Amino acid sequence: MDWRDEGIVLSLRKHGESAVIVHLLTQHHGRHAGLVRGGNSTKMRGVLQQGNELSVKWHARLEDHLGSFAIELQEGHAARVLSDPGRLSSLLSACALADLCLPEREPHPDIFATFQALLLALPDVAWDAAYVAWELSLLAELGFGLDLSTCAASGATTNLIYVSPKSGRAVSAAAGEDYKDKLLPLPQFLVGKEEVGPRDIADGLRLTGYFLDRHILAPHAKLLPDARARIAGN
């Protein structure tokens, strides 16, 4: 029972005096746990920061055992955002959501790829829009993707400014006028507009948060990550 892969640190907890149990999002083996001996040392704590990208080797006597990781740092993404509260909150929130939402040991290479892209985008100016887009990709990967291409009521492809909380489909301004108090706002950067302001990010987080909670978290008595609430204010 041996394999090698690339993995992103999602979470860890202390195990015994010096070891830690680490959950990684791996490229080919999905969300996967393993024991890292000596992981609680000063040196290893710097490597095992949430969001860091590792080269890993997993070994276990049997496939269903916890097993152990031998790790090597590939990219220290966490260090690039530690001094910025908003970017750090996005990194921590993405790690927590992947840990909460993805089934264990089920490959999701597309989510791994979009997670890598998010980590690379966090130092950029449009980091918060990249985070909202990543949550949309997570919803789609888990079978709850939103259809923002046409109006659910009329089939129109222009002036889409709402999303139906029931169907997850876009609604145009004209079709939604009588129901706007019951609809979710659709931030325009999610339908191709380039300008993004703080209100757009707040609306985007409200939109994705609603469907993450409704379809994935609430049915399992889970909550959105605390770090996520700190994104829109930065």
What is the overall mean pLDDT for the chain?
Answer: 95
Where do the domains of the chain lie? 2-75, 83-148+186-230
Does domain 2-75 fall under CATH 1.10.760.10? My reply is no
Does domain 83-148+186-230 fall under CATH 1.20.1440? My reply is yes
Which tens digit of pLDDT belongs to each residue from 212-226?
999 999 999 999 999
169 DSSP assignment: B
Angle of the 127-141 helix axis to the 198-212 helix axis, nearest 10: 20
SS3 218: helix
- What pLDDT, on a 0 to 100 scale, did the predictor assign at position 233? 60
Which tens digit of pLDDT belongs to each residue from 91-125?
999 999 999 999 999 999 999 999 999 999 999 99
In CATH terms, are 2-75 and 83-148+186-230 the same topology? no
Q: Which residues pair with 14 in a beta bridge?
A: 20
Average pLDDT over residues 17-32: 97
Tell me the pLDDT band of 22, cut-offs 50, 70 and 90.
Answer: very high
- What pLDDT, on a 0 to 100 scale, did the predictor assign at position 1? 79
Which tens digit of pLDDT belongs to each residue from 134-184?
999 999 999 999 999 999 999 999 999 999 999 999 999 999 999 999 999
- What pLDDT, on a 0 to 100 scale, did the predictor assign at position 195? 83
CA gyration radius, the chain = 19
Tell me the pLDDT band of 63, cut-offs 50, 70 and 90.
Answer: confident
- Residue 194 pLDDT > 90: no
Q: What percent of the chain has pLDDT over 90?
A: 93
Span between the terminal Cα atoms of the chain, in Å: 45
Q: What span, in angstroms and rounded, lies between the C-alpha atoms of 65 and 182? A: 48
Q: What span, in angstroms and rounded, lies between the C-alpha atoms of 40 and 43? A: 8
- Residue 234 pLDDT > 70: no
215 DSSP assignment: I
